[in-house]
Chains A and B, each alone.
Chain A
């Protein structure tokens, strides 16, 4: 199975990606980079879906939900970037710590 590659190695890659994303979300000061961190974490989850999905070709749940995950991530990025551009118009910065009010 899996071309002779152990299943754990897929999970190790996904763990590394998840922790990179977590680091980006915690430290970056630019909302677009925080968004990239979130995307890395979503990709780690999709990699897990896909690697376990290789063991189920009848119902194929892993690959199906990987595709749904990609769709949700793409839609989320579109809305988040629209919000970021609005925030930039209003505050003239996209540093998440500088945004301290929600009044339009």
Chain B
């Protein structure tokens, strides 16, 4: 039952990601991206990362997707019948669709091969973690663990993230301000 749910989520995630990548309609692509992120949050739950899953839904689905919709609506006058003039233009990376597909397929095959060769299920530190009962069993209170670790072991990255967020807040407000008032 759990496995079935996991594989359904996995299939939806991968298929919707592929649709996002090839879809011509920008608004539809963003809404399908929403589905990808939602199913990905479900997959995080299967890895016992409840808190990360909720954070994903709040930050990505609640924030980033809405921001992207704003970006598309403010920067595209013909939202529904947008221009398709694919000819006679240089691309950012001067690769056509076939070349890009071949490149990503090569990366995909290489990574899959690497994962099979690495034999991750038999890594030493994973076996040690299993034998010393350090793995999640599903009965832990992961938000509590994360809270304690944030204030002890990972305090420096936490503070760095807060300074970074302040810098981003100032930078984004500065970039988006109205120029030449009056």
| Chain A residues within CB distance 8 Å of chain B | 1-13, 15-24, 26-30, 32-37, 39-40, 43, 46-47, 50-51, 53-68, 70-79, 81-86, 88, 94-98
Contacts and interface: CB of A to CB of B under 8 A. Distances in A.
B13 A13 contact: yes
B61 to A, nearest CB: 11
A71 B146 contact: no
**A-B residue pairs, 9 tightest by C-beta:** A26-B100, A82-B175, A75-B168, A96-B92, A19-B108, A20-B17, A88-B75, A55-B129, A23-B104
A4 B107 CA distance: 28
Most buried by A among B18, B47, B103, B164: B47
Interface residues of B, number: 88
Given A15-B112, A64-B146, A10 B100 contact: no
Contact of A63 (B52, B99, B115): B52
Contacts of A24: 20-21
Interface in B124-160: 125-126, 129-130, 134-138, 140, 142, 145-146, 149-150, 153-154, 157
B34 to A, nearest CB: 11
12 contacts: A4-B3, A24-B21, A54-B48, A55-B125, A55-B134, A56-B134, A63-B146, A78-B172, A81-B68, A86-B176, A88-B75, A97-B92
Contact of A17 (B17, B107, B168): B17
A3 B6 contact: yes
A71 B17 contact: no
A95 B67 CA distance: 18
Contact of B129 (A22, A36, A56, A75): A56
B64 to A, nearest CB: 5
Nearest to B111: A15
Most buried by B among A30, A36, A73, A88: A36
Contacts of B91: 27, 29, 97
B37 A53 contact: no
Contact of A16 (B17, B26, B142): B17
B161 interface: yes
Nearest to A88: B75
A74 B146 contact: no
B89 A68 contact: no
